[in-house]
Structure 1
Amino acid sequence: MAAHPVPRTPASHGRRALFRGPHRRRTIAALVTALALPSAALAVLPPGASAAVAPASHTAASPTGARGSAAADLPAHALVGYLHASFANGSGYVPLADVPDSWDVIDLAFGEPTSATSGEIHFTRCPTTECPNAESDADFKAAVKAKQAEGKKVLISIGGANGQVQLTTTAARDAFVSSVSDIIDTWGLDGLDIDFEGHSLSLDAGDTDFKNPTTPVVVNLISALKTLKAKYGSGFVLTMAPETFFVQLGHQFYGGGSGGADPRAGAYLPVIHALRDDLTLLHVQDYNSGPIMGLDGQYHTMGGADFHIAMTDMLLTGFPVAGDKDNVFPALSPSQVAIGLPASGNAGGGYTTPADVDTALDCLTRKTGCGSYTPHGTWPDLRGLMTWSVNWDKFGGWEFQKNFDQWRSQNG
């Protein structure tokens, strides 16, 4: 999704693959886990090896997230998709009114900042020079209302690989709240998706407690999101789409306090934790990821059922942060969690076949057919799936949507 150099770690996800204008998108995932390791650990922790930092056993914790009205309005098993609303990039533009009814949450990609630290967010719809079939603003607004009348949620997604957002000051925080509110009000949207990537979030030296963060970009983001939630009330939909680098990697390394690791490692954890009572959905990007260590002490590689099972198990079980068994990130409610996948091989690294997607869903919701990784619980209320993107799924013949429709028709 980048039209600029991508940071060394983590890999910018393939959500704006393969092209945006003349800029070629990379879909090769960097080995972000290995690059985040302190140099002393690199020689002893190759992908696939066991790691002593993981506990030998782990007991599922009780979830502490909220199940508010915004979540209750979603179907038991929901399908979330990003819609290329401000660009086309090779997959073709899809008018909002043409998005099939299967999609329950539609994230408009993207609102982007005027500069990295301004906090000012703008949303510009795809111009007809790039998207000849783009609808008028009036028709777009009408489509938003029509989707909402059908019970769908339409959100503005902020960030992406191009949209570095660093709320370094309270002025930037306030500008973020004001400009995002303007977007929501102008287009009549249901809420906000946070898709901060690259260098948007990192932890300052000495900021080692995810329960009590001190880094300004983290503290100001939490404050901004709480302000928006308070402004719009219980029906406000808040979702997040972090990369594994910013969430599950925190099991091993948390910021720069973990022996010289990348200060972005685990940097989403304090945001998720502070907002767990307001969070509608967390759908971590299980793609464009390096190997990530699960609760079994083994590294798991993207693209197969085990990766999705292991990564989701961490969110629904809870996990020690930076290997400290006395400092556990609490489990989220299964109704708050969806699995993030690319719709096709064109959409990003880590494409997972429909059969493996079904295996992951069956294992997590019924603990059947789990393969080599056995999760710590059974979560029939797991919310569902997220994909990048609606456009890429249409480009691929709607394989992702059709497979999930079949699965949920058989599983309620």
Structure 2
Amino acid sequence: MDRTRSLAGTSRPSRLLAALTAAVLAAGALVASAQTARAADTELARNGGFEAGLDGWSCTAGSGAVVTSPVHGGAKALRATPAGSDNAQCSQTVAVRPGSTYTLSAWVQGSYVYLGATGTGTTDATAWTQSAPSWQQLRTTFTTGAATTSVTLHTHGWYGTGAYHADDVSLLGPDGGPVQPPAAPTGLTAGSATSSSIGLSWAAVPGATGYTVYQGGARALSVSGTSATVTGLTASTAYTFQVTATNTAGESAKSAAVTASTTSGGGTPGGGLPAHALVGYLHASFANGSGYLRMADVPDSWDVIDLAFGEPTSLTSGDIRFRPCPVSECPGVEPAADFKAAIRAKQAAGKKVLISIGGQNGQVQLTTAAARDTFVASVSKIIDEYGLDGLDIDFEGHSLALNTGDTDFRNPTTPVVVNLIAALKTLKARYGPGFVLTMAPETFFVQLGYQYYGSGPWGGQDPRCGAYLPVIHALRDDLTLLHVQDYNSGPIMGLDNQYHSMGGADFHVAMTDMLLTGFPVAGDSARTFPALRPDQVAIGLPASTNAGNGHTAPAEVTKALDCLTKQANCGSYQPHGSRPGLRGLMTWSVNWDRFNGGEFSRNFDAYPWS
């Protein structure tokens, strides 16, 4: 009791001394705490100076090698060389602690060199340099997610830019323990099959840097993504597949097996289309300077006829209506009964007639589940009323403008994208395997994703750049044809890292080769957009100079087909192999081709595919 009174009566200087003492003690505790935190940071990158060769590192396509000059520190450094469709990515997986902050750095030389970490559970980290003629340090930080126990570090270059060098790669942060082999993949599913190939896909495995596909227990191929196509198979034969996940610690157990069969050799994969098809849009709901053309008068050259257009009653309603061109606008238009009879006659002759949704004025945004369901119901009504074979998606303008939050094309979250995917899958399931599903996006929405999808290494250009990529990827097993509009666009960069301009063979070869080869997606540099099958791809062109910017002369169209299907008659762009199974050509439009004397269709009919 007296002690308490004595403290209470302490003079003012004594109180100040006590306060200062307490502050010093607190500061000491903070210093000690900071020292403890710094002491907890550990160097987690294995062989970051490459003094032990490539130990701990895995480089795609054998692209990496250890050199003794130039080096930043020590006696060795990494030299990795992009080639073809490979960006020379070298990676390793390290164990980390959940909810912890890490600093990743490396010294690099070269043009367009990237450093990053994926699988963080939060926002993947990326640093890059456009040009580093001498050693330059790249540095970035990230925080792991609540359940993240491993991340994958990587460096990579870019296409057509030559070799890059990296040295002294460092990851500092709390030690997560030794890297463990990944878990076995789940969700292995067989997708599209032809007489000689079967497509497979599976769920991503945390901590995996690659996957190995097994066919009948034997290794078939290795890939970095979560899909693969096994080729060289025999027609009308059942095959069993499994897949494993790999990282620097080893290989997982095999997944559950899936069995799938190839189609018969005599079939025509792709919705019953001929091996090489000509696709054209028919101005069925409007007239312009090309004039109206009755369905019965569409020439036999056209294998797929897209009725242009079904349009929405409002931007976000999802309600689609098709209104045949009225007599007041289209003198000579046939009665509805004759129009439907002509459709049936075309189908009897082996042609496919689709309703095309969208066009320049038909912007559609399925922002809600209700709009999604209305879209399915209204499109189904059109298909049923006219007895059509399927659906073409020709969304342009702002239809996918709300795709601003997605940076992973494999896992979209934006409502307009998610709802569109769900609606198209529902329609495909409703009408069965014979349902023809095609898409006609502009290059802006597809190939420009190579540079600008998501945030992009340039800081982004437009939220719609590459906005079709999630839709195409999610529906690749259901998609009959993708015919990107290779017109009405500016120069686009190809896989050779060069810009190509409309109107020449090189442009069409470069744009089509991206679809048939696959390409890395900007803003998502660790993931590659997988290649489509050649039978799923047609080249989109305007039929005449009246039909759109980027008209390509018949001789240039022939050169493009020669280069893509035979790897002959190529210009400056060399494709990644020959694709004799390329499906064909699409044009805007049947009407403009007739207006131009049938030049486009005649050139297609005369082309020697073999």
The bucket for the TM-score relative to the shorter chain is 0.7 to 0.9
Match of 1:396 in 2: 596
Match of 2:89 in 1: none
Q: Which of these residues, 246, 256, 259, is aligned with residue 445 of structure 2?
A: 246
Q: Is the 8 A contact 1:112 1:121 kept in 2?
A: yes
RMSD: 2.3
Greater shift, 321-330 or 188-197, is seen at 321-330
Match of 1:329 in 2: 529
Deviation at 1:72, TM superposition (A): 5.0
| Structure 1 residues 205 and 396: CA distance shift in structure 2, 3 A | closer
| Structure 1 residues 125 and 70: CA distance shift in structure 2, 3 A | farther
Deviation at 1:133, TM superposition (A): 1.3
1:366 correspondence with 2:559? no
Match of 2:609 in 1: 411
1-structure distance, mates of 2:281, 2:433: 23
Match of 2:365 in 1: 166
Deviation at 1:130, TM superposition (A): 1.0
Match of 2:34 in 1: none
> 1:341-395: per-residue Cα shift (whole Å, max 9, x none)?
0000000000000000000000000000101110011100000000000000000
Over 2 Å off, 4+ runs: 52-57, 61-70, 202-206, 255-258, 323-326
Letter in 1 for 2:432: G
Q: Is the 8 A contact 1:54 1:323 kept in 2?
A: no
Q: Which of these residues, 62, 87, 106, is aligned with residue 286 of structure 2?
A: 87
Match of 1:33 in 2: none
Matches within 5 A, 1:4-403: 53-54=158-159, 56=161, 64=229, 71=270, 73-256=272-455, 259-322=459-522, 324-403=524-603
Deviation at 1:77, TM superposition (A): 0.8
Letter in 2 for 1:271: V
> 1:323-358: per-residue Cα shift (whole Å, max 9, x none)?
755210000000000000000000000000000000
Q: Is the 8 A contact 1:241 1:283 kept in 2?
A: yes
1-structure distance, mates of 2:399, 2:282: 22
Gaps of 5+ in 1: 1-42, 45-51
| Structure 1 residues 203 and 55: CA distance shift in structure 2, 3 A | farther
1-structure distance, mates of 2:463, 2:347: 40
> 1:80-127: per-residue Cα shift (whole Å, max 9, x none)?
000000011110000011001110000000000000000000000001
> 1:212-259: per-residue Cα shift (whole Å, max 9, x none)?
000000000000000000000000000000000000000001134551
**Identical columns (%):** 75
1-structure distance, mates of 2:228, 2:292: 39
| Structure 1 residues 325 and 402: CA distance shift in structure 2, 3 A | same
> 1:266-286: per-residue Cα shift (whole Å, max 9, x none)?
000000000000000000000
> 1:149-198: per-residue Cα shift (whole Å, max 9, x none)?
01100000000010000000000000000000000000000000000000
Equivalent pairs, count: 360
The higher radius of gyration belongs to 2
Deviation at 1:204, TM superposition (A): 4.2
2-structure distance, mates of 1:70, 1:109: 25
Deviation at 1:261, TM superposition (A): 1.8
2-structure distance, mates of 1:63, 1:312: 19
Question: Aligned with 1:377: secondary structure?
Answer: coil
Q: Is the 8 A contact 1:207 1:257 kept in 2?
A: no
Letter in 1 for 2:302: W
Question: Aligned with 2:278: secondary structure?
Answer: strand
Question: Aligned with 1:371: secondary structure?
Answer: coil
Letter in 2 for 1:227: T
> 1:119-153: per-residue Cα shift (whole Å, max 9, x none)?
00000000111111111100000011000001100
Deviation at 1:202, TM superposition (A): 3.0
Relative CO higher for 1 or 2, CA cutoff 8 Å, sep ≥ 6? 1
Letter in 1 for 2:484: V
Gaps of 5+ in 2: 1-129, 132-156, 163-222, 231-261
| Structure 1 residues 306 and 108: CA distance shift in structure 2, 3 A | same
2-structure distance, mates of 1:108, 1:205: 31
Match of 1:39 in 2: none
Q: Is the 8 A contact 1:338 1:386 kept in 2?
A: yes
Q: Is the 8 A contact 1:63 1:316 kept in 2?
A: no
Q: Is the 8 A contact 1:64 1:332 kept in 2?
A: no
